[in-house]
Amino acid sequence: MPSTSLAQGDTTYYVSYRKLLTTRLYTSRKYTSLLITEKNKNSRIGLEPNSTLNLGIGATYNDFTLNLAYGFNFMNPNRDQVETKYLDLQAHIYPKNWVIDLFGQFYRGFFLQSYTGPLQNIPPDLAFPDMKVRKFGANVQYLLNGEKLSLKAAFLQSAWQKKSAGSFVAGMEFYFGMAEDTQNILAEFIPVPLQFNRMNFFEIGPNLGYVHTIVIAKHFFITGMVSGNIGIGNTRISSDLAQEGSWGFNTNYFLRGFAGYNGPVWSINANYVHNNVRIEEARNYVTDFQTGNYRINFVYRFTVGPKLSPILEHVDLNKYLPKKYRDKN
């Protein structure tokens, strides 16, 4: 059973269990969807992939995390509308004083999730089986009050936040990617058709945000984090007739929410991460790439035995850092 003697650093506000094996059983769903809005807001269409609800297992040790999940058929009975093939790579890393997010999304197959506009009798089961979306990016932020606030406690559960605390965050983020509709199905259902075969985008800029954890009776917690970005970007659209592009400034946002019970031995919690990237206006339409991940975790921590401990020490990320940076993460 864990003991606070294994905690790292000042334990007044939180304890970090780097030398304990944090195991988890979880359910999760990831997605990357598109929201296309006409500039005068007469019409809006939402396209979403038919990604799976997954069941997975994972573990964290010495700040190294590995999770494996699979979307079993019994958890996903209603996938008849469209078959989505996807690889969704999301890494949300929380070393001390830092927040790091990495994205790599590969999706093919979308369906009509919502529509607002003047057109009537749009089929409710409208699908875009050949539509492709690719999105890549990174978000790096500095956590100003990392001595008192741990996002590992909220997201990875490899720490335990014992007292309420908050912090501003500031950093940079960039994104690039594309959407491809070779069949041009959108042109049939959106007024003043967008008519694109391929849309490429790139954005980069600074961000600023705030995160706060409220702790109730030492064990129950609610964590919320919001950050906004002003980025400069380029959008380029290719169609059968022409190719055009434009540069401009846009605002993006990043939302995170965590809630549950956490203690020195076990934890149960839910978390949600949502990243919205709005690209530069093209042909009188604004497009948002929305990426997210929601998860429910059941966590148990324990001390590893003498046989397993030397093996796990190889995944101690701290020892691979330059000496002057060790034990600062």
Percent of the chain with pLDDT strictly greater than 70: 88
Question: What local confidence, expressed as pLDDT, does residue 321 receive?
Answer: 59
Is pLDDT above 70 for 326? no
Phi, psi of 320 (to 5 degrees): -90, -5
pLDDT confidence bin for 313, thresholds 50/70/90: confident
Residues 6+ apart with CB under 8 A from 127: 81, 82, 109, 110, 111, 112
Token reading at 303? 């001390």
pTM of the model: 0.86
Cα pseudo-dihedral 97, 99, 100, 105, rounded to 10: 170
Lowest mean pLDDT among 7-11, 24-28, 215-219: 7-11
Phi, psi of 155 (to 5 degrees): -100, -45
Is pLDDT above 80 for 186? no
Is pLDDT above 50 for 9? no
Cβ atoms of residues 88 and 161 within 8 Å: no
Q: Which of 108, 96, 177 is nearest to 138 (CA)?
A: 177
Is pLDDT above 90 for 135? yes
Question: What local confidence, expressed as pLDDT, does residue 81 receive?
Answer: 76
Question: What local confidence, expressed as pLDDT, does residue 80 receive?
Answer: 74
Is pLDDT above 50 for 3? no
More confidently predicted of 123 and 156: 156
Does residue 5 sit in helix, strand or coil? helix
Is pLDDT above 90 for 284? no
- Give residue 121's region: left, alpha or beta (phi > 0; psi -120 to 50): left
More confidently predicted of 302 and 6: 302
pLDDT confidence bin for 318, thresholds 50/70/90: low
Question: What local confidence, expressed as pLDDT, does residue 289 receive?
Answer: 95
Task: State mean pLDDT over 157-173.
Answer: 95
Best mean pLDDT range from 57-66, 72-81, 192-201: 57-66
Task: State mean pLDDT over 224-235.
Answer: 95
Question: What local confidence, expressed as pLDDT, does residue 323 receive?
Answer: 66
